Amino acid sequence: MSSTPERLIETTRELLWERGYVGTSPKAIQQRSGVGQGSMYHHFDGKPDLALAAITRSAEERLTTAEALFGGPGTATERIAGYLRGERDVLKGCPIGGLTQDPEVMGDPALRRPVEETFSTLRARIAGLLGEGVARGEFGAGLDPVTTASTVVAVLQGGYVLARAADSVEPFTEAVDGVLDLLAAHAPAAK
Amino acid sequence: MSSTPERLIETTRELLWERGYVGTSPKAIQQRSGVGQGSMYHHFDGKPDLALAAITRSAEERLTTAEALFGGPGTATERIAGYLRGERDVLKGCPIGGLTQDPEVMGDPALRRPVEETFSTLRARIAGLLGEGVARGEFGAGLDPVTTASTVVAVLQGGYVLARAADSVEPFTEAVDGVLDLLAAHAPAAK
DNA sequence: GTCTATATATAGATAGAC
DNA sequence: GTCTATCTATATATAGAC
């Protein structure tokens, strides 16, 4: 049995993912969650307040999932490949990345913060992994961990865009395979 | 002097870019374009009809700009670098890629088609360039033109997402530099 | 072609009873 | 805590006069 606020947050997460912030109405949240209007406004100040709770949770979940992989065993290449290939619901897009398209989210500093932090944390974490990889001789010394980390995250986010445009997972898979091949070709052993 | 339909289309293009389809109202189009309600509905059937004209034009413009670069002089690497580095308005995002986040656009086959075609054309064109590059010995024979082309387009689209999340062009620039470095490192001469 | 009037539904809440 | 009533503004048009 989940509590009323809990059901509201989870429903809002779903709707934000499917329809974005502008496309998600309080009424839709109430109907899908089965929570009444008065009840919703009792627990949350309004749509922005509820959205903040939902976005914050999605951001934390995203980072937790990623960290479980990054902190696990394997070479830098293996962990990054696991990150890029472990994505589900490719056609639904990224629950955090999609929000960057929403002017109301980007225009509200409170709503924007979790989005910003998610990506800055991810980029820094992957840069660290790549740096370790270079230090261990997994990649050539010429590989720049910082720019390459942004490339890796961008491929993931752009892969979602291409998949949704094509209504097919294929371009996502291609983009991921392409960047992993490029990383593999950068290995000193391949030189 | 631009005609009334012309002003409507251009204004709709701007608003779709800034606010997306769901976030763009007929009233907003009328106010920004200075065209009255009756006049708008005289020239277009409604919001979807006007959006189709706007999206179609943006898609064509996008491909025309890209083709001007791809068909120009230079090595494959140079032309792809020119494509990735020639982007303006990074913080505004991609006028076509952003639409993939909009459920109403993706749910309408007519509105979706130009988006789909833009990316499938781009990916195919870049795959062709990369294939020529491999044939000329610009890259190692191990480079797969098709997957790498999807990677290149994904980096661009994902770069927009990262830039908007950070409210800074920096991660976009990093992502682009990162993938260009990886491509350069794949050159046979570097092996 | 353009304008004003009118219309229905939804967005996003607030007020107060229970 | 939850429910129903009410409210103002906007979304998305249609109708008919000029």
User: What percent of chain B has a predicted confidence (pLDDT) above 70?
Assistant: 98
Q: Do A23 and B18 touch (CB under 8 A)?
A: no
Which nucleotide lies at the shortest CA–C1' distance from A50?
Answer: C12
Residue given tokens 């897009």 in the structure block: A93
Mean pLDDT of chain B: 96
Whether CB of B25 is under 7 Å from strand D: the answer is: yes
Distance CA A130, CA A120 (A): 15
pLDDT (0 to 100) of residue A77:
96
For the residues B39-43, what does the mean pLDDT come to? 98
pLDDT (0 to 100) of residue B187:
81
The whole-number Å distance from A41's CA to C14's C1' is 10
Q: Read off the tokens for A13.
A: 């997460």
Categorize the per-residue pLDDT at A187 as very low, low, confident or very high, splitting at 50, 70 and 90: confident
pLDDT (0 to 100) of residue A191:
45
What are the chain B neighbours of A113 within 8 Å (beta carbons)? none
- Count the Cβ atoms, other than its own, within 10 Å of residue B121: 15
pLDDT at A190 > cutoff 80: no
Cβ atoms of residues B104 and A20 within 8 Å = no
pTM above 0.85, yes or no: yes
pLDDT at B1 > cutoff 80: no
pLDDT (0 to 100) of residue B45:
97
Going along chain B from its start, the domains and CATH numbers come out as 59-190 (1.10.357.10)
Distance CA B105, CA B97 (A): 11
Which nucleotide lies at the shortest CA–C1' distance from B41?
Answer: D13
Amino acid in position B126 = I
Residue given tokens 């865009």 in the structure block: A161
Q: What is the 3-state secondary structure (H, E, C) of chain B?
A: CCCHHHHHHHHHHHHHHHHCCCCCCHHHHHHHHCCCHHHHHHHCCCHHHHHHHHHHHHHHHHHHHHHHHHCCCCCHHHHHHHHHHCCCCHHHCCCCHHHHHCHHHHCCHHHHHHHHHHHHHHHHHHHHHHHHHHHCCCCCCCCCHHHHHHHHHHHHHHHHHHHHHHCCCHHHHHHHHHHHHHHHHCCHHHC
The Cα of B75 is separated from the nearest Cα of chain A by a number of Å equal to 19
Tell me: the pLDDT tens digits for A17-74?
A: 999 999 999 999 999 999 999 999 999 999 999 999 999 999 999 999 999 999 999 9
For the residues B32-49, what does the mean pLDDT come to? 98
pLDDT at A16 > cutoff 90: yes
Which nucleotide lies at the shortest CA–C1' distance from A23?
Answer: C11
Distance CA A26, CA A13 (A): 13
Tell me: the pLDDT tens digits for A119-175?
A: 999 999 999 999 999 999 999 999 999 999 999 999 999 999 999 999 999 999 999
pLDDT (0 to 100) of residue B191:
45
The Cα of B1 is separated from the nearest Cα of chain A by a number of Å equal to 31
pLDDT (0 to 100) of residue A189:
61
Distance CA B104, CA A95 (A): 17
Burial class (CB in 10 A: 0-12, 13-18, 19+), B18: middle
Q: Read off the tokens for A144.
A: 């720049």
Whether CB of B103 is under 7 Å from strand C: the answer is: no
For the residues B161-179, what does the mean pLDDT come to? 98
For the residues B112-137, what does the mean pLDDT come to? 98
The Cα of A1 is separated from the nearest Cα of chain B by a number of Å equal to 31
Categorize the per-residue pLDDT at B190 as very low, low, confident or very high, splitting at 50, 70 and 90: low
Q: Do B174 and A23 touch (CB under 8 A)?
A: no
Whether CB of B47 is under 7 Å from strand D: the answer is: yes
Residue given tokens 């120009």 in the structure block: B72
Q: Do A100 and B164 touch (CB under 8 A)?
A: yes
